Amino acid sequence: MTTGATVWLTGLPSAGKTTIAYELAGRLREEGHRVEVLDGDEIREFISAGLGFSRADRHTNVQRIGFLAELLARNGVKALVPVIAPYADSREEVRGRHQESGAAYLEVHVATPVEVCSVRDVKGLYAKQAAGELSGLTGVDDPYEVPESPDLRIESQHQTVQESAAALHALLTERGLA
């Protein structure tokens, strides 16, 4: 059985979390690993429908995703989780659940500056916020607590998606998870 793990990619909207996760997933699958990407947008649609973006709802969403990731990791799957998870206490609770079960957990901060994210603006969120059509945008008018000691910090504005995924793959290899 392959070793499972959760790789939580946290960062601002449009930082590159999901793109890096899918790039890494492809590489890991080519190597024969069982991999699932728990995309935050899909989770909100199918598992956390009805939750808003209050601090309490964001915490609930992160805990649901964390539970699924830990379950997958315990069963030999690499769970790649590209989810903003803006609050440190929510992320630490997920890490604690993994530690209690013995499942590997890596926190990766995709540390793309808000200025770069707002130019990328994959979903048009920054444009809507600037136009006054959206409030509560993480990192702009809603908090984002930067991880103090992530297992890896990726500055995606300085490297390609492939280079970012390669750095993450190197970390997994170093930890005996790839």
Binding residues for ATP: 11-18
Alpha helices by DSSP H, 48-87: 55-74
Round to whole Å and give the CA distance between 155 and 24. 16
Identify which of 170, 157, 5, 17 has the alpha carbon closest to the alpha carbon of residue 86.
17
Q: Are 36 and 78 in contact (CB under 8 A)?
A: yes
Query: How deeply is 46 buried, as exposed, middle or buried, from its count of CB atoms within 10 A (0-12, 13-18, 19+)?
Result: exposed
Q: How many CB atoms lie within 10 A of CB 81?
A: 29
Round to whole Å and give the CA distance between 66 and 31. 25
| Coil/strand/helix, residue 155 | coil
Round to whole Å and give the CA distance between 43 and 86. 16
Annotated binding residues, as ranges?
11-18
Round to whole Å and give the CA distance between 116 and 80. 23
